[in-house]
Copies of this chain bind each other. A is one copy, B any other.
């Protein structure tokens, strides 16, 4: 017996929002059950770095009061939200996964997106575990501990937004925010069997988040269905100025029927594990069978690893520039490994740094050319499924995701089934700049028609 309904907590946010709107569920009950589930499951999963039960319950009761008065602020009003710990929430400490003590000065202001989501009525539960400083994709955090993949204890949830992927998958929040610099929203979405979006560059303000790379950083949402991401979008885009609009971002529902869309898919998926390759081929077939026009393109000449290493160098140098004052004052906040990575960047020359930036321009142009004659590019999200923390992390985790950060195109990861080894796999859809909403709708179409979803069994989750 538990004092929370695990099946309810594993429903998608859109369904929870419907229950709230129909008065079949209160935000207080949802929040309380979520807190109980965290109490029960998080000691093993370790998704959260900090939880704020009192503030969350107060926000939930205020939402319920608004509902009673018929003054709900948005479809998000009363839904629980958890936030990757490199995004500021007023009153909560921002660690960015560093060894920053829990009694440090909390953030004074909400990040731009947090202020908007709070205004929309979201109930903020707490801050989520992440790879140290967001520079890595395993979430093997030396200060806050490993975050576990809810699909398999001892396995990585991916990263750097590992806590976000795991908490959403395990029902420990309705919605989550992550950040995505080279794939850090999409990779954990793929490993944990949930959906995650890297929005069009500039569409979502990164104000109030801890910098990893000026050029590549994005804040993006993770949820249990693509439609949940769509629910969040109006509160994520930069509503207070013309930036989002100037980037051509359209929030209007506007997905063409699949048979009118043009897709590009890879001929050669070498460098990708066989399970992923097979599932990807089947996913592409699914589009073809439903009447989509698919053009195959050959990316076998493209040096994915070189592009990733260029991005990594930019991150290390940008990070150093951003963290330097804190690094000098509090070297104990940083692991030796992270210090070594920054030092590696410091040892590089101006020519190497700008050559890396040039290479990213080239990658950006190549992706734009690939997308010049099609609406959507289909890719695996990651070259493999989640792996054991006891294994060394594969180097190429972000090989298929980093390009969209360089080019600014929106990219979504949606589940494409469970591997023979029992772990979730992700399909990545890369769309035209500004077409975030259409991409979300297309991903929901895939979720609805292709049966690729990877829900966790409530009983199994509770038994683990």
Binding site for B on A (CB under 8 A): 214, 246, 248, 313-314, 317-318, 320-321, 345-355, 357-358, 361, 433
Contact = CB atoms under 8 A, between A and B. Distances in A.
Given A314-B354, A346-B350, A353-B353, 20 more contacts: A214-B357, A214-B358, A246-B248, A246-B433, A317-B350, A318-B354, A321-B351, A321-B355, A321-B358, A345-B350, A345-B351, A346-B349, A346-B351, A347-B350, A348-B349, A348-B350, A350-B350, A350-B352, A353-B354, A357-B357
A355 B355 CA distance: 15
A400 to B, nearest CB: 26
A372 to B, nearest CB: 8
A357 B214 CA distance: 10
Main SS class of interface, A: helix
Contacts of A361: 214
A317 B246 CA distance: 31
A333 B348 CA distance: 29
B246 A321 contact: no
Which residue, A313, A354, A357, has most C-beta atoms of chain B within 10 A? A354
Contacts of A354: 314, 317-318, 321, 353
A320 B313 CA distance: 19
Nearest to A320: B351
Contacts of A358: 214, 321
Which residue, A246, A347, A350, A352, has most C-beta atoms of chain B within 10 A? A350
Contact of A313 (B346, B349, B350): B350
A363 to B, nearest CB: 14
A116 B246 CA distance: 26
A348 B346 CA distance: 11
Nearest to A213: B354
Nearest to A313: B350
30 contacts: A214-B357, A214-B358, A214-B361, A246-B248, A246-B433, A313-B350, A314-B354, A317-B350, A317-B351, A317-B354, A318-B354, A320-B351, A321-B351, A321-B354, A321-B355, A321-B358, A345-B350, A345-B351, A346-B349, A346-B350, A347-B350, A348-B349, A348-B350, A349-B349, A349-B350, A350-B350, A350-B352, A350-B353, A353-B354, A357-B357
Nearest to A372: B241
Contacts of A320: 351
The 9 closest A-B pairs by CB, nearest first: A350-B353, A348-B350, A353-B353, A317-B350, A317-B354, A353-B354, A346-B351, A246-B248, A321-B355
Contacts of A246: 248, 433
Nearest to A247: B246
Contacts of A352: 350
Contacts of A347: 350
A306 to B, nearest CB: 16
